Structure 1
Amino acid sequence: MSGRPRRPRRAPPAPAGQWEVRFSDAAAAKGWESLAQQARENTYKAWVVIRTDPRPRTETPRHHRLKGGLAHVMYRGQTCEQWQIEVTSGGRVWYLVDTARETCWITFAGAGHPRATDRR
Structure 2
Amino acid sequence: MSAGRGDRAAPPAAEGQWEVRFADAAAAKGWENLCRQVRENTYRAWVVMRTDPRPTVENSRHHRLKGSLAHGTYRGQTCEQWQIEVTGGGRVWYLLDAGRDTCWITFAGTGHPRATDQR
TM-score by length of 1: 0.91
Deviating beyond 6 angstroms after TM superposition, the runs of 4 or more aligned structure 1 residues are none
TM-score by length of 2: 0.92
How far 1:8 sits from its partner (Å)? 4.8
- Work out the percentage of aligned pairs sharing the same amino acid: 77
Q: How many pairs does the alignment contain?
A: 116
One-letter code aligned to 1:39: V
User: 1:14 is matched with which residue?
Assistant: 13
How far 1:9 sits from its partner (Å)? 3.7
SS state at 2:54 partner:
coil
How far 1:32 sits from its partner (Å)? 0.4
1:28 lines up with 2:22 in the alignment? no
How far 1:119 sits from its partner (Å)? 2.0
Separation in structure 1 between the aligned mates of residue 28 and residue 6 of structure 2, nearest angstrom? 11
**Unaligned segments of structure 2, at least 5 residues:** none
User: 1:100 is matched with which residue?
Assistant: 99
User: 2:55 is matched with which residue?
Assistant: 56
**Unaligned segments of structure 1, at least 5 residues:** none
- Which protein is bigger by CA-based radius of gyration? 1
How far 1:10 sits from its partner (Å)? 4.4
